[in-house]
Chains A and B, each alone.
Chain A
């Protein structure tokens, strides 16, 4: 059965959410406003492709996400995600884990895992404070990693959707999340040790 969408309340219902989502991902208010406008207009043109397998809100957010990804890609030569992971595998792993000393088999390098005292003490730090620090750290992630990270954690997309979108296996996906989290951990440790 085909679902018909009522566009008369779109802006009121979804405008602020899409605007906030775009603003968060792009860090640019003007650009965010423009992409929200483009999102609504493209959605109307593509309204026949809405199959009702997700909510209207999710569908609009996906269109917006595609626009954000296109915005990042504009003018850049794109490397497939799996190739990016292969190319950076050893330099990344070697920073955190010891695969070169015989008998270490990927044991952690102590220096790469400094304690983060505010997180590891009994004193609970406020999550909003941590989130603020994290936002700064996410902005510093390599774009390949942050795209995936934000799709999962801010858009709330599931594993299948993300793997299809970037044409990667689920193992690639765990590796991406692991790398992103390692980098975030290092970033937080650096900030909180100052």
Chain B
């Protein structure tokens, strides 16, 4: 049984742009079965795209950490004075809108 012709196979092996876009998609959502197979075959033969996959995953990890940091320990802070003044404005406007 003939599964795919030579040109199709060669395109799978050679098209790094497609493979890398699939890598991104895989890390963010889900691949279809044919996309999954295509990517597996490509990555088996292509070291550059394997490196890209690692790089992409590393970025995801670094930014997940950075986002967590930003939420838990905001690197810059407003001064107490600024906070008081800002909250005063917030309260004032809230009151105004109630009436």
- Residues of A whose CB lies within 8 Å of any CB of B are 7-8, 10-12, 15-17, 19-21, 23-24, 29, 32-33, 36-37, 40-41, 44-45, 47, 93, 96-97, 99, 103-108, 110, 113, 115-116, 119-120, 127, 130-131, 134, 153-156, 159, 170, 174-175, 177-178, 181-182, 184-185
Contacts and interface: CB of A to CB of B under 8 A. Distances in A.
Contacts of A175: 21
- Closest 7 pairs (CB-CB, A-B): A20-B74, A153-B63, A106-B15, A16-B74, A105-B14, A108-B16, A11-B87
A185 B58 CA distance: 11
Interface in B39-54: 46, 48-49, 51-52, 54
Chain B interface size range: 35 or more
Interface of B: 10-11, 14-18, 20-21, 24-25, 28-29, 46, 48-49, 51-52, 54-56, 58-63, 65-67, 70-71, 74-78, 82-83, 86-87, 89-91, 93-94, 97
A172 to B, nearest CB: 11
A156 B63 CA distance: 9
B66 to A, nearest CB: 6
A100 to B, nearest CB: 13
A20 B17 contact: no
Nearest to B25: A174
Query: Could you tell me the dominant secondary structure of chain B's interface residues?
Result: helix
B17 A97 contact: yes
Contact of A40 (B11, B15, B61, B89): B89
Contact of A103 (B10, B78, B93): B10
Query: Could you tell me the dominant secondary structure of chain A's interface residues?
Result: helix
Contact of B59 (A29, A170, A181): A181
Contacts of B83: 11-12, 15
A19 B78 contact: yes
Of B15, B18, B76, chain A has the most CB atoms within 10 Å of the CB of B76
